[in-house]
Amino acid sequence: MGKSLTRKIIESHYVSGSMIPGEEVFLYIDQTLTHDINAVMTYLAFEAIGLDRVRTECSVSYLDHNLLYVDHKTPDDHIYLQSAARRYGVYVSRPGNGICHAVHVARFGAPGKISMGGDSHTPHGGAIGMLCIGVGGMDVATAMTGVPMRLKMPRVVNVVLHGRLRPGVNAKEIILEMLRRVTIKGGLGNVYEYTGDGAAALEVPERATITNMGAEMGATTSIFPSDDAVRRFLRAQGRETDYRELLPDENAEYDEQIVINLDQLEPLAACPHQPDNVKPLREVEKKPVQQVFIGSCTNTSYADVAKAALVLQGRHVNETVSCTCAIASRQTYKALMHDGYIDMLMDAGLRMLEIACGPCCAIGQTPATEGIAVRTSNRNFKGRAGNPNAKIYLVSPESAAATAVMGTFASAEDILGANVAKLAGIREPEGYDQNDNMLIAPLPEEEAAQVEIVRGPNIRPLPVPEVPEQELHVPVSLKAGDNVSTDDITPASAEFSSMRSNIPMMSKFCYHRYDPEFAERAKAMGRSIIVGGENYGQGSSREHAAINPMYLGVKCVIAKSIARIHKGNLVNHGIIPMLFEDSADYERICQEDILEIHHLLDQIPEKRVIVHDVTQGFDFTVRLDLSENEIEVVLSGGQLRFLKKQLDG
Ligand code: SF4
DSSP letter at 386 equals S
- Averaged pLDDT for residues 432-453: 97
Ligand 1: nearest atom to the Cα of 296: 8
pLDDT-wise least confident of 479-493, 545-559, 585-599: 479-493
Sheet holding 268-270, edge to edge: 278-280, 268-270, 391-394, 372-375, 291-295, 322-326, 351-352
Q: Considering the domain boundaries, does residue 88 fall inside one?
A: yes
- Are 367 and 381 in a shared domain? yes
Whether residues 290 and 221 share a domain: the answer is no
Please check whether residue 430 lies inside any domain of the structure: no
For position 525, what pLDDT does the model report?
98
Q: Among the atoms of ligand 1, which is closest to the Cα of residue 65?
A: 1
Last residue in a domain, options 396, 414, 432: 414
Nearest CA to ligand 1 atom 8: 296
Residues 247 and 288 in one domain: no
Span 16-48, pLDDT tens digits = 999 999 999 999 999 999 999 989 999 999 999
Instruction: Using pLDDT thresholds of 50, 70 and 90, give the confidence band for residue 260.
Output: very high
Instruction: Examine the domain organization and report whether 243 and 273 are in the same domain.
Output: no
Percent of the chain with pLDDT over 90: 94
- Between the CA of 254 and the centroid of ligand 1 the distance, in Å, is 30
Q: Which of 264, 289, 315 is the last residue of a domain?
A: 264
What is the model's pLDDT at position 432? 96
Question: What is the average per-residue pLDDT within 274-297?
Answer: 98
pLDDT band at 234 (very low <50, low <70, confident <90, very high): very high
Co-location of 258 and 272 in the same domain = no
Q: What is the pLDDT of residue 6?
A: 98
pTM over 0.90: yes
| Mean pLDDT computed over every residue of the chain | 96
pLDDT tens-digit series, residues 459-483: 999 999 999 999 999 999 999 999 9
Residue-level pLDDT at 494? 78
Q: List, chain by chain if needed, residues with CB within 6 Å of any ligand 1 atom.
A: 65, 99-101, 119, 121, 296-297, 357, 360-361, 377-378
> Is 258:174 a contact under the CB 8 Å cutoff?
no
Tell me which of 34, 37, 68, 99 to substitute to probe ligand 1's pocket, judged by most ligand atoms within 8 Å of the beta carbon. 99
Burial class from Cβ neighbours inside 10 Å (0-12, 13-18, 19+) for residue 216 reads buried
Using the predicted structure, report yes or no on whether residue 648 has a pLDDT greater than 80. Answer: no
This model of the complex carries an ipTM of 1.00
SS3 61: strand
Residue 378 sits in a domain whose CATH number is 3.30.499.10
Residues 274 and 408 in one domain: yes
Question: Would you say residue 127 has pLDDT above 90?
Answer: yes
Pocket test of ligand 1: the residue of 297, 329, 353 to mutate, having most ligand atoms within 8 Å of its CB, is 297
How far apart are the CA of 146 and the centre of ligand 1, in A?
A: 26
Query: Ligand 1 centroid to 173 CA: how many Å?
Result: 19
Domain housing 575: 472-648
- On the question of pLDDT at 374 being above 80, the answer is yes
Q: Which whole number is the average pLDDT over 202-207?
A: 98
Q: Are residues 148 and 78 in the same domain?
A: yes
Distance (angstroms) between ligand 1 centre and the Cα of 499 equals 18
- Closest by CA to 353, choosing from 119, 166, 635, 96, is 96
pLDDT at residue 355 greater than cutoff 90: yes
Mean pLDDT of 611-640: 96
Residues 398 and 514 in one domain: no
Residue nearest (by alpha carbon) to ligand 1 atom 1 = 357
Whole-number Å distance, alpha carbon 359 to ligand 1 midpoint, is: 9
Asked if residue 47 belongs to a domain, the reply is: yes
Ligand 1 centroid distance, CA of 296 (Å): 6
| pLDDT at 504 > cutoff 90 | yes
What's the number of domains the chain is made of? 3
Domain boundary among 264, 298, 333: 264
Other C-beta atoms within 10 Å of 89: how many?
Answer: 21
Tell whether 485 and 406 lie within a shared domain: no
Our mutation pick for probing the ligand 1 site, out of 65, 363, 392, counting the most ligand atoms within 8 A of Cβ, is: 65
In a domain, 433, yes or no: no
